[in-house]
Amino acid sequence: IFVEGETDVLYINDVLEWIYTYDEDAYPLLTSESTVFKDFGGVSDLQGFVRSNYGLIRKEVAAVSLFDGDDAGQKSISALAGYFGKKGGYNSNRDYVLIPRGMAIESLYPDDWIKKANKENSTWFSKWVLDAAGNISTFDIKDDYKKSFMRLMFSYSEITENWGFLDKWIIVLDALENALSLQTS
């Protein structure tokens, strides 16, 4: 599994541990010892790696990229789809998975947790937009604060009694598991 950044791997591993405590058989491919998560330090580096290597890799091993749904992630996917258009394609939920709602991986946590983080640590955010209903429309976290935000989300998950915080994560993990399954079959 190729991801944009280091925190992406940490998020996924933490969520998989939560799910494993509830269901040891969930996500057999994602939790397999042969599955490796590789981060690239950003979307442009991930895009460059995929462009340079995916044509060779795809015939040898199941490999799925996880992109943030923000503008940068969507532009990278468009560029890769264009590049691989005549070379076997670059297909959604097979070759890559896109984080829903046009946002980054951090958006997979409950909106009330993210709003609380913004209220207590507004300097962490470089963009913060609410819609007319008060729902989060979009947000960005400054690179220097991504790990602080991650630790805060982990602390919220440790004290919550509501496993519903996993709902958005399960959608993404299901898509990753299914993409790996399609490629391995």
Q: Model confidence over 26-72: pLDDT tens digits?
A: 999 999 999 999 999 999 999 999 999 998 998 899 999 999 999 99
CA angle at residue 56 from 50 to 58, to 5 degrees? 75
* pLDDT at res. 66: 98
- CA–CA distance, 147 with 6 (Å, rounded to integer): 9
- Given a cut of 90, whether residue 162 has pLDDT beyond it is no
Predicted pLDDT at 88:
84
Nearest Cα to Cα of residue 110 among 162, 73, 165, 48:
165
Q: Return the amino acid letter for 97.
A: V
63-113 pLDDT, tens digit per residue, is 999 999 999 999 999 999 999 998 889 999 999 999 998 999 999 999 999
CA distance 174 to 82: 26
pTM listed for this prediction: 0.94
Element (H, E) at 139: strand 136-141
The end-to-end CA distance of the chain, in Å, is 17
Which pLDDT score is estimated for 83?
Answer: 96
Q: What is the pLDDT of residues 139-160, one digit of tens each?
A: 999 999 999 999 999 999 999 9
Predicted confidence band of residue 21 (pLDDT cuts 50, 70, 90): confident
